[in-house]
Amino acid sequence: MPVLRVNRNQLAWLAAGLMLVATLMSTTAVADSEKWKFNAEIYLWGADIGGTTATDDDIDVAFDDIFDNLDMAFMGGIGASKGKWSLFLDAIYFDVSASDSFTEPVPVIGTIELDVDVDADVAMKSWITTFGAGYNVVNNERATLNLVGGARYLWIETELKLDLSTVILGEKFKRKEQDKLSGSVWDGIVGVRGKINLSDKWFMPYYADIGTGQSDLTWQALLGVGYKFKHADVLLAYRYLDYEFDSDSELDDMNVSGPGLGVKFYF
């Protein structure tokens, strides 16, 4: 999978420009509500994972492979709003594991090779959480737009277990190896979120943010289409999340992208 490279200065200026334009826009304001309103969302993000390691090896994991080896997953969010202010939390957790057995020829001396039987177990767990607050600057019949600020947290843990065995001069030798790595990053973010009304029922939700902190750069974008029911919305969207890490990380960059389908309930 090709890795999308971006110019962080251009993205930063774009985010600042969007905020400035939104602030200057004249709108037909809706009177502030004095009551808290709440929402909850569940969804399935059919995402592929791509990127590059610190040693320039490519990462390309398709959603089909993730789904086939999925042990547990949660994707959803909650939100609250009162007047022009809003709070939001989006959380993704997945636990993936796979096993495989194969025989690997290992060079010993010259052209002499030794067949080694390998039983491999691989596991990966991850949390991606984005949360923050928003302030409404556009709210009319055609569109809504909120300026948002908050933080994003990424945690990844990988574990590899190997059972190695071979036969030398009629005697069987066994060896076990295990490697476990984990890491996390916190980043502050700023962005925009809202929707464009296409009709009384149909609308286009959008979201974009950009930030930095323990990573060099992270940004995210979402665009989709939704349909309104009385107490819920059905949403279909494409979402892209990108990270660029510092030079000390095992990963150079990582991206998670794909379509998602969800339902959002209002209380």
- Domain extent listing, the chain: 8-266
- Determine the 3-state secondary structure of 216 from DSSP: coil
22 membership: H or E segment, kind and range: helix 8-24
Cα 12 to chain center, whole Å? Answer: 20
Residues 94, 125: contact at Cβ < 8 Å?
Answer: yes
Structure tokens at 124: 């990966």
Spatial CA neighbour of 204 closest among 240, 238, 230, 231: 238
From residue 204, how far is each of 81, 99, 227, 229, 238 by CA, in Å?
20, 41, 9, 15, 11
Angle at alpha carbon of residue 83, lines to 28 and 199, rounded to 5°: 45
Residue 143's CB is within 10 A of a number of other CB atoms, namely 16
Residue ranges of the chain whose pLDDT lies below 70: 1-33
How many angstroms separate the CA atoms of 50 and 176, rounded? 30
CATH code that applies to domain 8-266? 2.40.128
Strands 202-213 and 58-61: unpaired
Instruction: Please state the pTM of the whole predicted model.
Output: 0.77
- Determine the 3-state secondary structure of 202 from DSSP: strand
Strands 85-109 and 70-82: antiparallel
